[in-house]
Amino acid sequence: MPDIRYAQFCPLTRAVEILGERWTLLLLRELVPGPQRFSDLKARLPGVSSSVLAGRLARLEDKGLIAKRDLPAPAASTVYELAEAGRALRPVMMELIRWGMRFLGEPCPEERFEPRWMLMGLQTFARREATPTCSLRVVIAAKPEDFEIHISGGPEGTDVSVLPRPSQACVRTEEFDLLLLANGLLDVGEAIACGRIRVEGDARAVAAIPRLFDFRPPPDPESIHRGTPAQTSMERVIPPRNSRNKTQGATR
Amino acid sequence: MPDIRYAQFCPLTRAVEILGERWTLLLLRELVPGPQRFSDLKARLPGVSSSVLAGRLARLEDKGLIAKRDLPAPAASTVYELAEAGRALRPVMMELIRWGMRFLGEPCPEERFEPRWMLMGLQTFARREATPTCSLRVVIAAKPEDFEIHISGGPEGTDVSVLPRPSQACVRTEEFDLLLLANGLLDVGEAIACGRIRVEGDARAVAAIPRLFDFRPPPDPESIHRGTPAQTSMERVIPPRNSRNKTQGATR
DNA sequence: CTGCATCCGCTTCGATACTG
DNA sequence: CAGTATCGAAGCGGATGCAG
């Protein structure tokens, strides 16, 4: 399994040499909430073949993104978990999630959805200015097993985690309704009224959810500075040199 | 050229469906400093085939990442430039550059280097706390033509741009010596003394370069919170359930 | 000369089967 | 459960051709 090489001395090239293959980033995303076994990964990545998955895991372990660990006591199995270089990908994934939101659209009927995929999304769009006063446990009902997300006040605003927190309230949702609640597409009171979500404990913790997140994309800097965005580029306007003429060495 | 589809309702999946193919992100990187023609892109991306490049360009235009524009007056040619969704990739690229720095290492002899690849790198590692007092024009000597980068004080600390700025000083460097200067691997006085760089104007602008950038990677949050990073994961420790036993529906 | 389209040999991928 | 082996299909790199 030879490495992909672009033969460029550039940090972005180094990154895509490691991350740019099929499945690689999605595989790493699966390891963010916690360690996973080979079969867990294969089951949650529909369409990936065993050999490709094994190859990816070996490469990523070799590069120091993930580590293989043997479970000790009862479940004698091996799990894969993020290593330091893999954990350092969090800002990359969050920016990819922020950017990818504009293409999310509506879910196609044949598309899968795993509740854990919301974890980093909620972390990405959590407002740093807003801190929840009540700690909330969210149970997302899912088919093989439920998935829990804890929303509480942290040192840097809203804290979203899978780690257990003491919670004053608990809400049970289906599918990606938590996402709809967070960006205001699903009204909290309405969802409670029609039984779409079920709340126990302090209901204000659930009512506060829409204020804790901000899904709006950042403004385009080009449309701020200049008037006609269609005429301008990101940095320079045009390179009007045609091929190699006499102005070759002119450094102004 | 059918789209890559992972059949997952997830913003990260949407992002890698568009960006995850070979060459795509490197192609977009080439458009960051300004518009480029088809042949420019093909020349600067060694190894890419015409058909793949044409396919990528068509797809990216279709998705709204880039736009095709016909040059008006003398050079009757078409150029590709970033559109809004392509410009919005800047944070993604910067985080990929920040992450990829740990794998940059030394340049292999067969690896290419383009001065423009340093632009976003310098922007990524520019310290927000430090603002240069003198504006500096950097001319990087390159083979087909030189490349210019302007380092000046901006509203958000150090400003690095290809756009022309009024400059109090000018320095001429070779290859990636600007990178070495910025992270302190090449001493300014020493480089001047041995003729490796040539300075005109206020020499303090060049001497200030190492203070304007910080290439250190951010600390691993895991190694801060806990004592034994080898034993812990990013979020949860282990999922010790073995296959499907009776605890399937227990939500604690 | 630029901007592709076409063809060809090679690598990679996806699906299934098989094994320790 | 954790992979390895196999095989047809698709994607890719390189060369060539061709229209504007």
Tens-place pLDDT, residues B130-155: 888 899 999 999 988 899 999 999 88
Residue B200: C-alpha distances to residues A23, A212, B137 (Å): 50, 52, 10
Residue type, B104: L
pLDDT mean over A16-24:
97
Q: Do B25 and A20 touch (CB under 8 A)?
A: yes
Q: Is the pLDDT of residue A244 over 50?
A: no
Q: Which residues of chain B have pLDDT under 50?
A: 226-233, 237-252
User: Nearest Cβ partner of A99 from B88, B161, B238?
Assistant: B88
Counting residues of chain A whose pLDDT is more than 90, the rounded percentage is: 77
A116-130 mean pLDDT? 95
Please name every residue paired with A149 in a beta bridge, in sequence order, or none if there are none. Answer: A138
Beta bridge mates, B149: B138
Cβ neighbourhood burial of A141 (10 Å; 0-12, 13-18, 19+): middle
- A249 in Cβ contact with B144 (< 8 Å): no
**Which residues neighbour strand D (beta carbon < 7 Å)?**
A 37-40, 49-51, 54, 57, 68, 77-79; B 1-2, 21-23, 47-52, 55, 242-243
- The conformational region for residue A205 under phi > 0 = left, psi -120 to 50 = alpha, else beta, is alpha
Which band of pLDDT confidence, cut at 50, 70 and 90, is reported for residue A71?
confident
Using one digit for the tens of pLDDT, what is the confidence trace for A169-228?
Answer: 999 999 999 999 999 999 999 999 999 999 999 999 999 999 999 999 999 887 765 444
CA A241 to chain centre: 42
Shortest-distance nucleotide from B50 CA to C1': C4
> Quick one: pLDDT at residue B32?
97
Other C-beta atoms lying within 10 Å of the C-beta of residue B249: 8
Contact assignment for A47 to B6 by CB distance below 8 Å: yes
Kindly tell me if the per-residue pLDDT of A31 is higher than 80.
yes
Q: Would you mind telling me the total number of residues written for chain A in this entry?
A: 252
pLDDT of res. B57: 97
Q: Which amino acid is at A37?
A: R
Residue B103's CB is within 10 A of a number of other CB atoms, namely: 15
Contact across the interface for B11 and A36, Cβ inside 8 Å: no
Using CA coordinates, name the residue in chain B closest to A247. Answer: B145
- pLDDT of B235 reads 57
Provide the whole-model pTM. 0.90
H or E element that contains B178: helix B177-182
Q: What is the DSSP string of B114-177?
A: -TTHHHHHHHHHB-SS---SS-EEEEEE-SSS-EEEEEEEETTEEEEESS----SEEEEEETTH
Query: Once rounded to an integer, what is the mean pLDDT over residues A39-59?
Result: 96
**Structure-model confidence comparison of residues A10 and A234, the more confident one:** A10
Q: How far apart are CA A129 and CA A214, in angstroms?
A: 10
